[in-house]
Amino acid sequence: MTPRETVEAFLRHFSAERVPSAHTMAAYRRDLGKLLDFMEHEGLTSFDALAPERLRSMAAREHRGGLAPNSIQRLLSACRTLFRYLNREGLLAHDPAAGVRGPKVRRKLPHVLDVDEARQLVETTLDDAHAPQDTAMMELLYSSGLRLSELCGLRWGDLDLEEGQVRVLGKGNKTRILPVGRHAVAALRHLAAQGGDAPEQAVFKGRGGMPIHPRTVQKRLSLLSAGLSRHVHPHMLRHTFASHMLESSGDLRSVQELLGHADIATTQIYTHLDFQYLAKVYDAAHPRAKRKPDAG
């Protein structure tokens, strides 16, 4: 097979084995397309001809071309996943990514709402026919920390309002059971009372009764958050859920389970966020935290 045919075979395997989101699949296809373009530019007709120095050259070229460090790291990660697949299938005898590192990525802390801002958001309503659905969506995003794709794909059969639970199918086709806050339960009951709550039906509906589109959720959230001092997006509510849970419980492992993170290192970013909050309180309240102006 040609390199492009090999990559297509890998993508089919990856899609069937990992069941990734459409966004992840598009990213893998785009990143591996960069690898294929580089190989063609260099006259490499097989993956056997790839070596670590070649991969470093590709990363350097992308960096010079303006690709952000985190995007280069993602590109190299996609290449490593491909090479592991080729090794397993006996199509490649070495690892072209061995010892190859991308540029250092400056880790950004996620933006979150404070408790008052979160309360203001979930209690905001717009005077239109979508208000009950808006309330239920905001309450559920904040009370359970759902991903946007999980919210849009939710069916009434996934909810147990008596027990205050929701079953979601997350990344990697993994199912988790999450608690639902009492305000979210009340909002969902009110939404269900409007009809159309059969188990197989979407909880949040768009046109024609189909599951609501992610872009529609983003637009409604922008309208609801207009009174706040900053732009709010759905994933910010997930970050806010995690941060508030960690602040009140201190239980990192439980927050990891609630978020559905495979690696606790992904969840640990919220410990940095928590420290940032504590440092802010300390600077504002402790008499020895503030520097005195230099004398003279």
Same domain, 74 and 157: no
Distance CA(118)–CA(241), nearest Å, equals 9
Instruction: Kindly indicate the confidence band of residue 277, based on its pLDDT and cuts at 50, 70 and 90.
Output: low
CA angle 142, 148, 149 (to 5 degrees): 140
- The last residue of one of the domains, among 45, 71, 88, is 88
Q: Exposure pattern of 8-47 as b/e (b: 16+ CB <10 Å)? A: eebbeebeeeeebeeebeebbeebbebbeebbeeeebeeb
- The last residue of one of the domains, among 73, 88, 103, is 88
Same domain, 137 and 62: no
Give a yes or no: residue 288 inside a domain: no
Active-site residue list: 147, 171, 235, 238, 261, 270
CATH at 8: 1.10.150.130
Mean pLDDT of the chain: 88
pLDDT of 201 over the 90 cut? yes
Give a yes or no: residue 170 inside a domain: yes
pLDDT of 291 over the 60 cut? no
Verdict on whether the full-model pTM lies above 0.85: no
Give me the pLDDT at residue 275, please. 62
Give me the pLDDT at residue 104, please. 80
CATH at 213: 1.10.443.10
Instruction: Kindly indicate the confidence band of residue 171, based on its pLDDT and cuts at 50, 70 and 90.
Output: confident
- The last residue of one of the domains, among 88, 107, 130, is 88
Same domain, 135 and 240: yes
Q: How many CA atoms lie within 13 A of 133 on its CB side?
A: 22
pLDDT in tens, 50-60: 999 999 999 99
Same domain, 75 and 157: no
Positive or negative, the Cα torsion across 213, 218, 219, 220?
positive
Please compute the mean of the pLDDT values over residues 138-167 and round it to a whole number: 93
What is the domain count for the chain? 2
Same domain, 72 and 122: no
Q: Is the Cβ–Cβ distance between 95 and 56 less than 8 Å?
A: no
Positive or negative, the Cα torsion across 227, 230, 234, 235?
negative
pLDDT in tens, 61-80: 999 999 988 899 999 999 99
Same domain, 235 and 122: yes
Q: Is the Cβ–Cβ distance between 161 and 144 less than 8 Å?
A: no
Rg (CA), the chain: 23
Give a yes or no: residue 146 inside a domain: yes
How far from chain centre, in Å, is Cα 9? 26
Give a yes or no: residue 97 inside a domain: no
Please compute the mean of the pLDDT values over residues 82-90 and round it to a whole number: 96
Give me the pLDDT at residue 295, please. 46
Give me the pLDDT at residue 98, please. 94
Same domain, 15 and 157: no
Distance CA(132)–CA(195), nearest Å, equals 12
Task: Identify the domain containing residue 21 by its residue range.
Answer: 3-88
